[in-house]
């Protein structure tokens, strides 16, 4: 009789192992060292009046200038791109670059750049809060940005419009001179507004801003009225050189790039043109120097060499506080 072999009990592979149970939590220590460090906080309910809320953040009146001059550079380049797109669209879908077609279009482009630099730029700066000091330094930085970026549009016209380099250089000198004149006027207006704002408040300088913009418009567009009043008309013959056209930064590019085929060049300049341009550039430099002298004048009490304001013997005060260094 054979003996039966005893097989060990094997676990069922389909049967899951039992889930181990978590050990019960340990009781809290009750020794004397722990008990001495416990602090009992009574439960209280605070009312709305008893809660001290943090004060709301103050309005940053200089938020629009925190990104300067990067934001202004972006706006100015956007204006150059918009002007180029609007003006060069006149060339048609074929993009004809014949000088007879591109020259009038390029003159319009130069005019748009001058409008942005002499009219829109003062309007943009006068619509902002006035800096508490050194407005001339920021304005000269604006001039540097506008002038250098405008050269990217100016000088390729030597190849596109077949103008001599002297005509493009004269147009650049004219733009720089008018921008310096506008910077000098803006600096004087902004410095006076800054001092008036310190005494009377921001509401009392709205008229000063408007008058400053009117002065900038008269300087920029005054030369356009002179030909209609004292110079040539549409039915008459234009003098050559036309000094009335040079009396405005908006119309100066039309005179400096005027077709003069009888001279053997597309835009030949006369010596009188350069004399007027150097005078305009000198006037701009003198305006900037005058603005710097006016900005450096003391603004303390009259007995300390300051400048009084009005018949009420109001004086300018030096700004103080967190905005003093802006």
The pLDDT tens digits of the residues spanning 162-216 come to 888 989 999 999 999 999 999 999 998 888 877 777 666 555 667 778 888 888 8
| Residue pointed to by tokens 């603004």 | 299
- Residue 314 class from Cβ within 10 Å (0-12 exposed, 13-18 middle, 19+ buried)? middle
Q: Residue 188 in contact with residue 297, Cβ under 8 Å?
A: no
What is the pLDDT at residue 182? 93
**pLDDT for the residue numbered 301:** 40
For residue 325, pLDDT beyond 50: no
Sequence-distant (≥ 6) Cβ neighbours of residue 133 within 8 angstroms: 194, 319, 324, 325, 326
pLDDT bin (cut points 50, 70, 90) of residue 305 is: very low
Contacts of 88 (CB under 8 A, 6+ apart): 105, 109
Q: Rounded to an integer, what is the distance from CA 8 to the centroid of its chain?
A: 90
Indicate whether 234 pLDDT > 50.
no
Residue 189, judged by CB atoms within 10 A of its CB (0-12, 13-18, 19+), counts as buried
Can you give the pLDDT at residue 38? Answer: 52
Percent of the chain with pLDDT over 70: 59
**pLDDT tens readout for residues 147-171:** 999 999 999 888 888 888 989 999 9
How do residues 37-72 score in pLDDT, each as one tens digit?
A: 555 555 666 666 666 666 666 665 555 556 677 888
Report the pLDDT value the prediction gives residue 319, as an integer from 0 to 100.
Answer: 41
Q: Which of 56-60, 98-102, 218-222 has the highest mean pLDDT?
A: 218-222
Q: Which of 223-227, 259-263, 321-325 has the lowest mean pLDDT?
A: 321-325
Q: What confidence score (pLDDT) does residue 14 get?
A: 62
Residue of higher predicted confidence among 253 and 129: 253
Task: Domain ranges for the chain, please list them.
Answer: 68-298
The predicted model scores a pTM of 0.69
Q: Please tell me the distance from the alpha carbon of residue 226 to that of residue 83, in angstroms, as a whole number.
A: 26
Instruction: Give the chain's mean pLDDT.
Output: 74
């Amino acid at each position: 009789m054979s003996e039966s072999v005893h097989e060990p009990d094997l676990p069922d592979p389909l049967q899951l192992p039992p889930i181990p149970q978590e050990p019960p939590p340990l009781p809290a220590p009750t020794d004397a060292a722990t008990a001495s460090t416990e602090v009992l906080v009574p439960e209280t309910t605070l009312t709305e009046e008893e809660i001290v809320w943090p004060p709301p953040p103050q309005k940053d009146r200089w938020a629009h200038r925190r990104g300067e001059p990067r934001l202004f550079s972006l706006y100015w380049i956007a204006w150059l791109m918009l002007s180029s797109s609007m003006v060069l669209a006149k060339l048609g879908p074929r993009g004809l670059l014949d000088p007879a077609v591109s020259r009038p279009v390029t003159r319009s482009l130069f005019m748009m750049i001058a409008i942005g630099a002499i009219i829109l730029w003062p309007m943009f700066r006068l619509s902002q809060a006035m800096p508490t000091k050194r407005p001339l330094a920021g304005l000269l930085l604006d001039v540097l940005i506008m002038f250098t970026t405008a050269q990217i549009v100016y000088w390729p016209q030597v190849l596109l419009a077949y103008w001599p380099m002297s005509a493009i250089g004269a147009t650049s000198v004219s733009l720089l001179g008018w921008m310096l004149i506008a910077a000098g006027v803006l600096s004087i207006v902004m410095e006076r507004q800054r001092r008036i704002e310190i005494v009377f408040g921001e509401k009392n300088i709205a008229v000063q801003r408007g008058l400053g913009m009117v002065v900038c418009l008269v300087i920029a567009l005054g030369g356009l009225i002179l030909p209609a009043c004292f110079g040539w008309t549409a039915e008459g013959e234009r003098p050559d050189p036309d000094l009335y056209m040079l009396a405005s930064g908006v119309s100066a590019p039309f005179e400096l790039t005027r077709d003069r085929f009888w001279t053997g060049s597309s835009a030949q300049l006369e010596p009188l043109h350069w004399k007027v341009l150097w005078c305009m550039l000198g006037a701009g430099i003198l305006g900037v120097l005058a603005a710097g002298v006016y900005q450096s004048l003391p603004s303390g009490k009259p007995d300390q060499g300051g400048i009084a304001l009005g018949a009420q013997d109001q004086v300018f005060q030096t700004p103080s506080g967190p905005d003093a260094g802006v």
